[in-house]
């Protein structure tokens, strides 16, 4: 069984937050694209085995907050690591009660927020007298995980009750951050969450193919998510012309 803990061990992440999750997933060989998707879809996992070997592209919706995008990406990574067989896996807002989805949800939570780290940080915060609004806000920012996932982790791990987290569950996320004195940091991290972003690894491969004359500027523009003229300007700025 491929656990989130094993992935952390192999990549030598220990119990620290994962800053560049896209880089980690692409390091494992799965291109990641951020693009607007329909409101009821958080992510897509596209599997292609036509060339005799399996390849995948993960698409994450930019219609949700950056913390939810990270959770979706971790969820999709689990589908990829287990080589779940559907050609296109559509991860909707409502997670169905089936093994691959439940497994991916658990994997995402423990990859992004390990149980041991959560216990240590919550216990330390409670000893300092911090309330749960501040604890949840701090966890969200430090670990890059959504409010919903943070609250569920606290309850699942026996670190808080539904009653203790009632205020956290009813406040909006901006108000949670304001009450914790973390609103400016939250705003900065949220500033470009809705911007589409191409896969760094696919963009690099497209540029290499372009330099060898294998693909046209149109392909480069499509992978970069810009117009042909914008792609030409970017290439010129980088010394390609």
Give the 3-state secondary structure of residue 90. Answer: strand
Tokens of 165: 């987290």
In a domain? residue 12: yes
Q: What is the CATH number of the domain that holds 61?
A: 1.10.10
Torsion of CA 110, 114, 119, 120, to 10 degrees: -170
- Condensed to tens digits (0 to 9), the pLDDT of residues 21-55 reads 999 999 999 999 999 988 888 888 888 777 667 78
Say yes or no: 143 and 54 in one domain.
no
In the prediction, which pLDDT does 47 show? 84
Backbone angles phi, psi at 66, to 5 degrees: -60, -30
**Strand 41-48, strand 55-61: pairing:** antiparallel
In a domain? residue 27: yes
In a domain? residue 189: no
Percent above pLDDT 90 for the chain: 54
Say yes or no: 125 and 57 in one domain.
no
Say yes or no: 81 and 139 in one domain.
no
Domain that holds residue 224: 200-237
Say yes or no: 142 and 97 in one domain.
no
- Condensed to tens digits (0 to 9), the pLDDT of residues 84-117 reads 876 565 666 555 567 888 899 999 999 999 999 9
In the prediction, which pLDDT does 166 show? 94
Say yes or no: 125 and 108 in one domain.
no
In a domain? residue 193: no
In the prediction, which pLDDT does 93 show? 55
In the prediction, which pLDDT does 218 show? 81
**For the chain, what is the mean pLDDT?**
87
Say yes or no: 124 and 167 in one domain.
yes
Torsion of CA 162, 164, 170, 172, to 10 degrees: -120
Say yes or no: 108 and 12 in one domain.
yes
Into how many domains does the chain fold?
A: 3
Task: Give the range among 151-155, 184-188, 190-194, 216-220 with minimum mean pLDDT.
Answer: 216-220
Say yes or no: 98 and 119 in one domain.
no
Say yes or no: 214 and 125 in one domain.
no
């Amino acid at each position: 069984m491929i656990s989130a803990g094993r992935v952390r061990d192999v990549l030598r992440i220990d119990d620290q937050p994962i800053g560049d999750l896209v880089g980690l997933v692409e390091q494992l060989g799965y291109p990641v694209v951020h693009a607007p998707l329909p409101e009821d879809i958080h992510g897509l996992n596209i599997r292609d085995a036509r060339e005799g070997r399996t390849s995948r592209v993960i698409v994450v919706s930019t219609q949700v907050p950056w913390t939810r995008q990270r959770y979706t990406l971790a969820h999709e990574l689990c589908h990829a690591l287990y080589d779940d067989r559907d050609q296109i896996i559509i991860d909707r807002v409502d997670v169905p009660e089936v093994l691959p989805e439940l497994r991916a949800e658990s994997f995402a939570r423990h990859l992004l927020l390990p149980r041991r780290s959560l216990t240590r940080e919550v216990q330390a915060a409670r000893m300092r007298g911090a309330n749960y609004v501040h604890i949840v806000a701090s966890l969200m920012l430090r670990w890059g995980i959504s409010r919903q996932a943070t609250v569920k982790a606290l309850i699942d791990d026996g670190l808080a009750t539904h009653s203790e987290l009632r205020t956290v569950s009813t406040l909006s996320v901006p108000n949670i951050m304001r009450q914790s004195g973390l609103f400016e940091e939250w705003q900065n991290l949220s500033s470009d969450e809705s911007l589409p972003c191409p896969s760094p690894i696919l963009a690099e491969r497209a540029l290499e193919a372009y330099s060898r004359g294998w693909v046209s500027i149109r392909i480069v523009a499509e992978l970069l998510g810009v117009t042909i003229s914008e792609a030409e300007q970017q290439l010129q700025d980088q010394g390609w012309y």
